[in-house]
A and B are shown apart, each in its own frame.
Chain A
Amino acid sequence: MSLRLLLLLATLWLGVASPSWAENSSSSIYSDVEASVYQVRVINQQTGKKTAIGSAFVVMRPDIIATNYHVVSTYINNPEGDFALDYLSTSGNTGRLELLAVDVLHDLAVLKADTPLGKPLQIAKIPPKGARLYSLGNPMDKGFSIVEGTNNGVMKSSDDNNILFSGSLNSGMSGGPTLDENKNVVGVNVATSGNGLSYLVPADYLAIILERLKLTGFQADEDIGQRITEQLKSNADKYVQNLQKREWTLQQLGRFKVPMDVTGVVRCWDNSDKPMPDNLMRSYFTQCSNESSIYLDDELEVGTLDYEYVWLDAGEMIPARFYRQYESVNVSVSASGAGKQDVTNFECFTDFTLIAGQEFKMTVCRRDYLNYIGLSDLLVTAALVGHKRQGMLFNLDMTGTTFESGMALLQRMLGDFKWQP
């Protein structure tokens, strides 16, 4: 159901690199920009070996290169100095890199070298849908390649506004540039979901970081971690404000009308079990998700919004028997992979409340991010009580939000509940 994107970070999985097409335009583009494309490597200082690789390109200044945040995330998430950043040119030159700034929301990072690396590529607007695009990078560490594909426009259904690129990107090409016919950068390679379905970060977002850096004379941000936290917090608040303004579709579930899909942001799917002939209880299950997330670390993604509704009908069962089943499904778990190095334990608050005039036993749980102060996970579960033969569960799971925004969204959603007597 959910479209899981594979980030184009090499060393995590193996596959077969697709051969690049040999065409005249490709070969001329490749030879023209070859000197501006690099491989970025995260080096473990203890072993001297690379732990992650990606691609990068020279932009704006000869000593400035851009790549993906996720390519250098190991370096950022281990600030004790265990890792270093290196570049490797198409001609085999290597050297150290300094991290200047990141945009974790759009998966971008800007780095600086001690020496000029090559001719900076120019940033341009996205060409019309159907235009030819050329993607460069170093897939699977097999050597620098060029991949030709088609621009399929900025994705409307998801809110990360990535460009859909019909071309075969592979691991290790992350952070490489995608060029238009004029050899200008229009996007940065970021992810693939296989079968020639790939995603690019629009280069406009890179232009924004570069403009900001230009004002400070390309000084490295003092506290990258703090910057990331600010980006995540401000994004979380804006995200919820945007959601509040949007049109939510109210749909019938059992005797409730509840908020479900949000056009362009949240999609809902029916996930009800097929009824079995000897089942005494009927249940109807709808799951909704924003199907997007912000990559922070190998096992840590935030910005997910999931909620689900379960309507239970006792049929002919006596209430005591029905409530045993009802209680057994009253379990809410977090979908996040955050571990003890990332978050605190959940703290929960439980009490009875009235939603749309009906009594619910509701629990709000919160846990806080240790490395991104001010960000929390919010887990809410509410169970309809007081009806002998009917039950409803509402579960809400938000990761990497601010607690206040999460609660505001919860209030908005619960305020939309309608009871149909």
Chain B
Amino acid sequence: MATMILEIQTRGLNQYYRLEQFPVTIGRALDNDVILSDNSVSPYHLRLEQDAEGQVFAHNLSSENGTRLNKHQLGLQPVQVPIPSQLLLGNRKLRLASTAMPVETTHVSRCGGLFAPFCQPLWAALLLLLTVVSLLLNDYLNVPVAKEPLFYISGVLPTLVWMLFATLVISGITRLFTHRWEFAPALSVVSLFNLVPMVLEEISGWLSYFLSSDAPFTWLMTGVSGFVLIPALLYVYLHWVLSQKRLPALGIALVLSALPLGLRAISVLDQVTLANEFSSEPYYHQELSSLNIHANPPLPLETYLQRAADALPSQLADE
């Protein structure tokens, strides 16, 4: 006969008791066989007994918070317990199982290959460096006057402080799961969170100029950067760094992104509403690019004017 195991589920690592002699008493009092120092548990809460055939019976002793066996409330009569079974003593979850029961497959760290930037410190440092350089470059390109290097550094500092704070928060939360400080993955995620929008903005500006169209900006900036980036980074972090299963990882990522995405959605909705209202200003493609690469070759002036006239008929039907 397989040995019985009592699993007491706690955050982090579960406790296991090998049950070799019956009866077994479970409760908060210190003369129990299994002591549960949970104050929702009665001093003498449950007695497990075994009959000659090896059947296990649960005898609920608690009249306070009581016991549930596989979600059914137990009375004061002993009830036979199938193996395995879930027990709820007050608020404390326990599981009665046999040692022969197979355990879950080992979580092998999947952080490698394409996702190596999320877990290797060297990559984290590289991403941080890239982010800082991009921020500095962005500031430098935006300022049309001669400035001291210190000006640009002081411009980047607030972002760096924010990144440090975010890294600490993420690695702090991670520590609750893994019981280790995971600075490198947190720093990678925070760096990417800053770096990706900058890269996307550059790409979408270039593509918008190339196509004389707003579509790249709409898709890359509003769509990808605004709505996909946060849940995607969270998902990658949860699945590949914290080794969460796909579906729970996706669920947690979506729940955590709900607030920022909701706020973005409101602002996008506002923009759409505004775009449909009257505006005294024209809306046109203002992008300019020093590379000057565009899909359409320049038109001769007459052709251009003809196309413009064709493209802009009167907006009033009754003319």
Contacts and interface: CB of A to CB of B under 8 A. Distances in A.
B149 interface: no
B283 A348 contact: yes
Interface in A332-391: 332-334, 336, 338-340, 344-355, 359-368, 370, 373-374, 376, 379, 381, 383, 385-386, 388, 391
Contacts of A361: 212, 285, 288
Contacts of A338: 280
Contact of B299 (A317, A353, A376, A386): A353
Contacts of B301: 353-355, 411, 414-415
Chain B contact residues, majority secondary structure: loop
Interface residues of A, number: 64
A326 B284 contact: no
A385 B294 CA distance: 11
Contacts of A321: 140-141, 144
Given A349-B311, A351-B299, A368-B315, A323 B144 contact: no
Contact of B278 (A325, A345, A414): A345
Contacts of B298: 352-354, 359-360
A334 B282 contact: yes
A338 B278 CA distance: 11
Interface in B296-319: 296-305, 307-309, 311-312, 314-316, 318-319
Contacts, number: 143
Nearest to A379: B282
A275 to B, nearest CB: 11
Nearest to A410: B305
Given A349-B308, A366-B312, A368-B316, A386 B288 contact: no
Interface in B253-310: 278-290, 292, 294, 296-305, 307-309
A407 B306 CA distance: 9
A281 B316 contact: no
A322 interface: yes
Contacts of A279: 144-145
A352 B299 contact: yes
B304 A353 contact: yes
Nearest to B202: A320
Contact of A334 (B146, B281, B287): B281
B270 to A, nearest CB: 18
A319 B141 CA distance: 9
B10 interface: no
Interface in A403-421: 403-404, 407, 410-411, 414-415
A345 B284 contact: no
A363 B284 contact: yes
A276 interface: yes
Contacts of A366: 312, 315
Contact of B315 (A350, A367, A391): A367
B314 A364 contact: no
A351 B307 CA distance: 9
Interface in A71-128: none
Contact of A365 (B145, B282, B296, B302): B282
B212 A350 contact: yes
Contacts of B294: 352
B237 to A, nearest CB: 33
Contacts of B316: 344, 368, 370, 373
Nearest to B281: A333
A23 interface: no
B77 interface: no
B264 to A, nearest CB: 25
A322 B282 contact: no
B319 A373 contact: yes
Contact of A351 (B147, B212, B282, B319): B212
A403 B312 contact: yes
Given A353-B300, A359-B298, A415-B301, A339 B287 contact: no
28 contacts: A276-B145, A280-B145, A323-B288, A323-B289, A323-B290, A324-B142, A330-B286, A330-B288, A333-B282, A339-B278, A345-B279, A347-B312, A348-B284, A349-B311, A351-B296, A352-B299, A354-B301, A359-B298, A361-B285, A361-B288, A365-B312, A366-B312, A366-B315, A367-B282, A370-B316, A374-B314, A376-B314, A403-B309
